[in-house]
Homo-oligomer: A and B are copies of this chain.
Amino acid sequence: MKDKITLKQIAKEMGVSISTVSKALKDSYEIGEETKEKIRNYAKANNYRPNRIALSLKDGRTRTIAVILPEIVHHFFSQVVDGIEKIANKAGYNVLVCSSNESFAKEVVNMDTLAHGKIDGFIISLSKETQMKQDYHHIQEVINQGMPIVMFDRVVDEIDCDKVVVNDAEAVEQAVDYLWSNGRRRIGLISSLDYLSVGRLRTEGYIQSLLKHGLNPDEGSILKINEFLDCEAPIQEFMEQNDFDAILGVNEIYAITAMKILQRKGLHIPQQVEIIGFSDGILSRYSTPSLTSVDQHGKEMGETAAHLLLRRLADTDDEPPQTRVIPTSLKFRGSSGRPANFSPSAELPIDGHQQQPQ
C-alpha cells in the first residue's frame, strides 16, 4: 500500500529541488546529463508518473470528454461510444460515459456537474424527454461558457453547434424506393411519435417517396408508436387492419416484431411481405430470415463526432459549426427481395461477421 510517488519525494530523496526533478524528467537542456540520469533512474525504479490531476489544474484541460447517451444498453449507442473511444484514445483523451436514461432532469444534472472542470467537451444525443419538452437551456448554457459540444443522431435546430446525423428522410426514401422497385405497392410504416426528431424525419421520407411515385400516402398506413408502451399490441392491430405487402420499421425491434407477427399468421417473408428495419444491429443479422436494414454506421458517427470535438478542443480560431451527414446504406438480407437478380427461395447465409462472444 505504498502511496504514489511525487516529485517532492524524489527531490527530497535525491537532495535536489522539485524544479530540477521536473525538468530532468522532461529531459530539459537546462539540467546536467549526470543529474538527469540519476533522477531518471530513481523515477523509473519507483514507477513515477506525473499526477494527471495536477497537470489538468495547471493547463486547464483534463483530456477527458463526456458522452451523454439516452441509454447505455443499446446496440447503436454502444457503436457510437466505440467509435468515440477509439478516436479519443488515439489523441490521448479519455471518455466519460453518462446515461441520461431518457430523462431530462438527469441530462441537466449530468451536464451541470461535469461542465465545471471535469471534462473538456461534450458529445451528446438528447433524451426523449428533452426532445418532448423542447427545453435546451442546459445545452445552451454550456455552450455559452465556451465549452464545445457535438450533438449526434437526436439533434435539434435550436442549438447552434457541431452535429453528426444521418440523412433520415433520405434513407427512408431510398428504402421505400427499393421496395417500390420490387413491385410492392402496399407499404406500411411503423414509426415513433413525432416529437422524436428521427421518427419525424423518417416519416417525412416515407411520405416523400410515396408522393414521388404518385401515391397519396394514407394516414392508415402509418403507425406511430408510443415508445413508453409495449409495441407488440399496436403492431398486431396494425397488421390486422391492413394488408401490407411490405413493412418498413424505424428500428430493429419494430421490424422484427412485425415479422414475427406476420410469420405467426402464416405469411412468408419475403415472398408475401418484404420487411426492412433501421439501424443494422445484431438482431438483423441473426433473425430468421435475417433482416434487410438501413445501416446508420454508428461507429463512424462516433468517430466523426470525436474528430469534430477534438478539432474544437485543439483550434483557437472559431470556424462556424458544421453538420456532418453520415450516409446510410441498405444492407440486403433475407427479409427483402434483392436488387437485380433476386431468388426468393435462397436464404442468405448467416453473416460471417460475428459479434465477439464474451
- Chain A residues at the B interface, C-beta cutoff of 8 Å: 1-4, 47, 49-54, 56-57, 62, 64, 70-79, 81-82, 85-86, 89, 94-99, 102, 112-118, 125, 141, 144-146, 153-154, 192, 198, 227, 230-232, 250-254, 256-257, 260, 263-264, 279, 282-283, 286-288, 299, 347, 349-350, 352, 354-358
Rounded to whole angstroms, the CA-CA distance of A81 and B89 in the bound complex is: 19
Q: Choose among A50, A78, A125 the residue with the greatest number of B CB atoms under 10 Å from its CB.
A: A78
* Interface contact A282-B279, CB-CB below 8 Å: no
- Nearest Cβ in chain B — how far from A171, in angstroms? 14
Residues of B close to A2: CB separation below 8 A: 144-146
Contact of A153 with B53 at beta-carbon distance under 8 Å, contacts A73-B82, A116-B4 already known? no
- Nearest Cβ in chain B — how far from A152, in angstroms? 11
**A192 and chain B: residue at smallest CB distance:** B357
- Nearest Cβ in chain B — how far from A56, in angstroms? 5
Q: Choose among A2, A3, A113, A114 the residue with the greatest number of B CB atoms under 10 Å from its CB.
A: A113
**A95 and chain B: residue at smallest CB distance:** B97
* Interface contact B4-A251, CB-CB below 8 Å: no
* Interface contact A146-B357, CB-CB below 8 Å: no
- Nearest Cβ in chain B — how far from A101, in angstroms? 8
* Interface contact A82-B78, CB-CB below 8 Å: no
* Interface contact A350-B260, CB-CB below 8 Å: yes
* Interface contact B283-A64, CB-CB below 8 Å: no
- Nearest Cβ in chain B — how far from A151, in angstroms? 14
Residues of B close to A260: CB separation below 8 A: 286, 288, 350
Residues of B close to A350: CB separation below 8 A: 232, 257, 260
* Interface contact A74-B355, CB-CB below 8 Å: yes
Rounded to whole angstroms, the CA-CA distance of A144 and B50 in the bound complex is: 18
Contact of A286 with B288 at beta-carbon distance under 8 Å, contacts A53-B62, A85-B97, A230-B352 already known? no
Residues of B close to A117: CB separation below 8 A: 4, 49-54
Residues of B close to A102: CB separation below 8 A: 356
Rounded to whole angstroms, the CA-CA distance of A102 and B56 in the bound complex is: 29
* Interface contact A116-B50, CB-CB below 8 Å: yes
Contact of A253 with B53 at beta-carbon distance under 8 Å, contacts A47-B141, A85-B99, A287-B288 already known? no
Of B50, B79, B282, B286, which one neighbours A75 at CB under 8 angstroms? B282
